[in-house]
Amino acid sequence: MSTAKKEYKRVTVKSLVDMKKQGEKISMLTAYDYSMAKIVDAANVDVILVGDSASNVMAGHETTLPITLDQMIYHASSVIRAVNRALVVVDLPFGSYQSDPKEALRSAIRIMKESGAHAVKVEGGEEIKESVRRILNAGIPVMGHLGLTPQSIYKFGTYTVRAKESQEAKKLLDDAKMLEKLGCFGIVLEKIPAALTKKVSESITIPTIGIGGGRYADGQVLVIHDLLGMTHEFNPRFLRRYMHLFEDMSNAISQYVADVKSKDFPSEEEQY
């Protein structure tokens, strides 16, 4: 039997389920604009999430709650124009799907039609079941999101690890099974114990994607600004920084300011 890794020219929701079957881990990262999405896609990241974390890292809000459907569509359209390979998943923002399944479907349709995205992501389990069902019935792929769900931050009160108690852990497992049964193609598990991620991942056939969920998830996701060290004040245990761009960019920009002030820039060779 060949052990060669399958190349995916274009990642689809089916590719992700195949990756899980083959034991190949799935890579997922956020992007919110054209230039960043081009780099992320060229690096062969499997899934690009246009996350509502744009509310934090792009707009400077404290939570993900303020971002609007129109703003998510703007970010998603910019990303879609850059991408050749990755599957692009877009968060349905807070308030666009919780109140009524028909509104949820209208919101999902707007994202798919106006941005060209490939799938949507929603936060929650049993409480949003009818909305998920309706979106799926329209042929729109849905990714779930359980554990720490930032759109519910005011209900939780803190960003600490979720589902440490058996009752919450049981509900999370039931919700994951329910989302699989409805037809979701994957589930993000945010900030839960690694042992629970293992249990969930072994109990369902669709992939789990962890962020602070430990090594047993079928894939991992990070916010690109965190991975690159652009957000240097955010230091959760689960974050691995691959660069320290806040410092590097600050140094480069300070050097530019110094060069302008000292009349070093532009030089003879840098003018017409």
Active site residues: 190
Continuous segment of H or E residues that includes residue 234: none
What residue is closest to ligand KIV based on CB?
51
Least distance between ligand KIV and beta carbon 51 (Å): 2
125: contact with ligand KIV by CB under 6 A: no
Q: Does 188 bind ligand KIV (CB under 6 A)?
A: yes
Q: Tell me how far, at minimum, the Cβ of 82 lies from ligand KIV, in Å.
A: 17
Q: Is the dihedral of CA 62, 64, 65, 66 positive or negative?
A: positive
CA distance 200 to 167: 15
- Cα–Cα distance measured from residue 185 to residue 209, given in angstroms and rounded to the nearest whole number: 11
Q: Does residue 91 touch ligand KIV according to CB under 6 A? A: yes
92 binds ligand KIV (CB under 6 A): no
Question: Does 223 contact ligand KIV by CB under 6 A?
Answer: yes
Site size with ligand KIV, rule: CB under 6 A: 10
Distances in Å between the Cα of 90 and the Cα atoms of 27, 69, 185, 191, 261 are: 16, 10, 14, 20, 43
From 50-58, 159-167, 242-250, 255-263, give the range in contact with ligand KIV by CB under 6 A.
50-58
Q: Rule CB under 6 A: say whether 122 interacts with ligand KIV.
A: no
CA distance 136 to 186: 13
Residues 20-49 that bind ligand KIV (CB under 6 A): 30, 49
Please check whether residue 188 is in contact with residue 145, taking contact to mean a CB–CB distance below 8 angstroms.
yes
- Strand pairing class (186-190; 119-121): unpaired
52 scored as a contact of ligand KIV (CB under 6 A): yes
Interacting residues with ligand KIV (CB under 6 A) = 30, 49, 51-53, 91, 188, 211, 221, 223
